[in-house]
Amino acid sequence: MSDFFHNGEITTLHLLKNDNIEYLEDKLRKYAKQNPITLILPSIFDEIKGEALPRIIDDLCTVDYLNEIVVTLGWSNHE
């Protein structure tokens, strides 16, 4: 069972397991019909220059229950 924490408008999901992904995605699709879902994806500036973040975003764009993807930007202390 997932650990859900809700504080105001933002819900976080923890401890998700891969054993029932179809069931979870089906529930998300049904929920998203009434309540649009936005994914907040934290990143650092160094990740924007790399290959991983664009590939992650490309994959997330195929998810049919996400209404919006917001990439947040932090900074890195290493040079």
pLDDT tens per residue, range 5-45: 555 666 666 666 777 888 888 989 999 999 999 998 888 88
Identify whether 79 is part of a domain.
no
Q: How far apart are CA 67 and CA 73, in angstroms?
A: 20
Identify whether 62 is part of a domain.
yes
Question: Domain count of the chain?
Answer: 1
Question: Biggest alpha carbon distance in the chain?
Answer: 45
pTM of the model: 0.69
Domain that holds residue 49: 3-74
**Cβ contacts of residue 72 below 8 Å, gap of 6+?**
40, 41, 42, 43
Q: How far apart are CA 28 and CA 11, in angstroms?
A: 13
Identify whether 20 is part of a domain.
yes
